[in-house]
Amino acid sequence: MTFTKIVAQKAAPYWQGSLRHPFIVQLQAGTLPLDRFRYYLIQDHYYLQHFSRLHQLVANRCQDTALRQIMRQGAIDLASGEQQLRQQQFQALNITEQEVKQTPIAPTTDHYIAHLYRQLHADNAAVAAAALYPCAWLYGDIGVALQQQAPSPNRYYQEWIDLYAGEALQDEIHATGEVLDRLYAVSCKADREQMVAAFVRSSQLEYHFWEMAYQKETWLKGNEYDAQ
């Protein structure tokens, strides 16, 4: 069985759960409270800064020419796509640098970023690429699914949907999957297991990311259980 078929089965609960999560359901319906979307944008800003850098780091470690090109192109596409839209929405929603500085990185965001960097310690760059893959694949599937429904009445939410339903992202998802399937087939058993584990953990964290934004997750203060 190919890598993409294996991980599609293992990560199915997080795919299905994402489509049913209140953050996504309410985003499409236009009823998602704006403060939660703003919090998502700030946390995603933290994430994307590292996500783009990780594409370059993985590209630098690639022996495979096709994977190296995909990673480098991914960094370019992030700058012209997701990161550009985030900047536009920051301006439209008046999310200032001061607000970003005053909003600490959330535990889930921090965990996800750390997980991605840990995969760089694998000897096979395909492991690190497998950890990056769920972000594009899941967002692409969500974008396509939501675009088949009625447009969101909130223009910012519909912009988000349109970005991830675009053909360019679908082409990237397909091309990356083909390369990872090929590299999985020629990797040793240990590397194959790491590729699958890295993908599944990223999928879990993608699901947690919706919950983090919806709950506006913050760090515990450390004195929650002090005697009253």
177 pLDDT more than 90: yes
Looking at the domain assignment, is residue 101 inside a domain? yes
Q: Which segment of 43-52, 82-91, 126-135, 147-156 scores lowest on mean pLDDT?
A: 82-91
pLDDT at 78: 78
- Residue closest to 203 by CA, chosen among 143, 116, 86, 75: 116
One-letter-per-residue 3-state SS of the chain: CCHHHHHHHHCHHHHHHHHHCHHHHHHHHCCCCHHHHHHHHHHHHHHHHHHHHHHHHHHHHCCCHHHHHHHHHHHHHHHHCHHHHHHHHHHHCCCCHHHHHCCCCCHHHHHHHHHHHHHHHCCCHHHHHHHHHHHHHHHHHHHHHHHCCCCCCCHHHHHHHHHHCCHHHHHHHHHHHHHHHHHHHHCCHHHHHHHHHHHHHHHHHHHHHHHHHHHCCCCCCCCCCCCC
Kindly state the average pLDDT of the residues 84-107.
Answer: 92
Give percent of the chain above pLDDT 70: 99
Looking at the domain assignment, is residue 227 inside a domain? no
228 pLDDT more than 60: no
- On average, the pLDDT of the chain sits at 94
136 pLDDT more than 60: yes
108 pLDDT more than 70: yes
Looking at the domain assignment, is residue 32 inside a domain? yes
212 pLDDT more than 90: yes
Question: Model pTM?
Answer: 0.94
pLDDT in tens, 85-95: 888 899 999 99
Looking at the domain assignment, is residue 223 inside a domain? no
Domain harbouring 141, CATH code: 1.20.910.10
Looking at the domain assignment, is residue 224 inside a domain? no
HSE-CB for 36 with a 13 A CA cutoff? 19
pLDDT class of 133 with cuts at 50, 70, 90: very high
Tracing tokens 């994402």 back to the chain, one arrives at 18
Note if 135 is an active site residue: yes
**Are 153 and 91 within 8 A, CB to CB?**
no
Q: 97 lies in which domain range?
A: 3-215
From 206, 211, 217, 224, the catalytic residue: 206
Looking at the domain assignment, is residue 226 inside a domain? no
Looking at the domain assignment, is residue 228 inside a domain? no
From 62, 82, 135, 172, the catalytic residue: 135
Looking at the domain assignment, is residue 221 inside a domain? no
Q: How many domains does the chain have?
A: 1
Kindly state the average pLDDT of the residues 104-117.
Answer: 98
Note if 206 is an active site residue: yes
